[in-house]
Amino acid sequence: MIVQERMKHLLPNDQMQIIKQTTFFEDADSVLTLLYQPLIGKESVALYQALWRSSTSQLSQSQISHHYMMSLLNITLDDLYEARKKLEGIGLLKSFKEEDSFRTFYYLLRRPVSAFQFFDHPTLSVLLEHHVGKEAHQQLQKRLAPKPSISSNVEDVTLSFDDVFTTVAHKKQPPKREADESLVIQTDLPLEWLYKMLTQQQIEPKNILTNANLNYMEKIIKIYDVDYLELEKALLWAVNEDAGFDRQEFLDMCKDIYYKKHGTVPPRLYTKGQAHKVGQDEVVEATSNEQPESKQNQLIQHFDQITHRELLEDHSSSGIASMKEIEMITNLMEEHGLSQPVMNVLVHYVLKKNGNKLNRNYMDTIAAHWSREGVNTAKAAMDMAKKEHHMYQTWQQKKKQKQQKSTSKSKEVLPKWFKEQKQQKNEPQKTDENKKLEDSKIEDSNEDLEAFFKSFSQSKQ
């Protein structure tokens, strides 16, 4: 199927001419290798770099064949075609076709964004974090785009162009008028509906629906597959106490929505064919769990359909979840690569076992163990939790038995003379009369013995 599609669009003898759009940034190589490559793959980056080097070495208006590029990279034409599509989709390449006596493609190389622009880009930065993990994402940002260290006590006093310059002498400044942003905003979002929704909630739309915020929302909801009805929930959640738009809160809510809909599939870049295959696997897995028969299956289905935010809200008497706990759980889930259903079981297990308290170190230990064991479904997580609970109970019983044995062994065998001495101390002291009776008995016994010995000696004589 892929070969047939490629043959319609590209053949080995098709010629190419490479055009470099503009001068690249100094960090272009590092950005391509460390930031773009996790998203589009090494073949696409290798093709881009080969086109880049060829554009600097070839003569103006000179052409090369695709077969030459295949030999240079040691890849098939199908792989080259797939790599080219990824470069076009990520925004690094524009392709133009000319049909003449032979077909010629003109490849316009677009400059990669700088490292700072990459991490400021909502789509690229978020996708990179999901591909490499949060910790690696932070390390890359510190290395390639470190933030300047400026004290928080300073005040920005930089003057703008209009504050310093003018093109007309003695020009009278016109009164400033607030621009109606709704006239200049360009977005595919249902702007009128969003304005109405925020107004009904007594929220000033102009503070929320700015060009920058709308652009950010468009990119985030595309990554996390958020529809317009879910967008309303995410947007209202992201409004802070100052009636402003909190981007981090909006991102967290979109993550929750995504994990609820696609629990085991991370939001990464897939080609259309890959996405279709993953979607079929999801359908097979979902149909196998459509009709829960037992309470356990009902609980598994419940864990499959909610987010950890909703789980915490269910356990809260106020119905409001702690933002610190939500962020902690989200970070653990992303660090260890656990799916949403598995994380739900882990949170439920820890709450039940730890008196409704969430301890990060304890959860991190369990999450690391489950990740190593390859736990990826709610059922497998529940089986693992039951196994660990049984092991804990067995350990507690053995510990109790060991303590009982140690206490029994601690009872030493005492000598007989020590017991008699102790018994004598506990007996009541005898009276003087008793002592006299005993003395008289002893004297009588002595006299009897003396008489016996005398009679014995006389009989011998």
Q: How far is CA 216 from CA 159, 211, 219, 316, 358, in A?
A: 28, 9, 5, 32, 33
Lowest mean pLDDT among 42-51, 129-138, 443-452: 443-452
Nearest 5°: phi and psi at 109? -75, 125
Residue 287 lies in a domain: no
pLDDT grade for 272, boundaries at 50, 70 and 90:
low
Give, for 186, the enclosing helix (H) or strand (E).
Answer: none
Q: Note the residue count of the chain.
A: 461
- Residue where a domain terminates, one of 67, 89, 115: 115
List the beta bridge partners of residue 104.
15, 98
Residue 420 has a pLDDT of: 65
Into how many domains does the chain fold?
Answer: 2
pLDDT at 85: 93
Q: How many C-beta neighbours within 10 Å does residue 31 have? A: 22
Answer yes or no: is pLDDT of 92 > 80: yes
- Using CA atoms of 383, 386, 387, 390 in order, give the dihedral in degrees to the nearest 10: -160
Residue 116 pLDDT exceeds 80: yes
Residue 48 corresponds to which tokens in the numbers above? 């881009």
Domain with 67 in it: what CATH number? Answer: 1.10.10.10
* pLDDT at residue 288 tops 60: no
Max Cα–Cα distance, the chain, nearest Å: 165
Domain coverage including residue 71:
2-115
Helix ranges, 410-431 (H) = 416-426
Whether residue 159 lies inside any domain: the answer is: no
Q: Which residue has the tokens 């789509």?
A: 123
In a domain, 220, yes or no: no
**Spatial separation of the C-alpha atoms in residues 177 and 166, rounded to whole Å:** 19
CB atoms within 10 A of CB 105: 18
Looking at the domain assignment, is residue 347 inside a domain? yes
Mean pLDDT of the chain: 79
Euclidean distance between CA atoms 310 and 319, whole angstroms: 9
Higher pLDDT, 279 or 40: 40
Q: Which of 343, 358, 393 is the last residue of a domain?
A: 393
In a domain, 133, yes or no: no
For the stretch 340-363, pLDDT in tens is 888 889 998 888 888 888 888 888
173 is a domain residue:
no
Q: Distance between CA 262 and CA 340 in Å, rounded?
A: 9
User: Is 382 within the bounds of a domain?
Assistant: yes
C-alpha–C-alpha distance, residues 211 and 197, integer Å: 18
Q: Identify the weakest region by mean pLDDT among 77-86, 260-269, 296-305.
A: 260-269
Q: Output 271 or 372, whichever has higher pLDDT.
A: 372
| Number of helical (H) and strand (E) elements in the chain, helices listed first | 25, 4
End-of-domain residue from the set 339, 371, 393 = 393
Q: Is residue 323 part of a domain?
A: yes
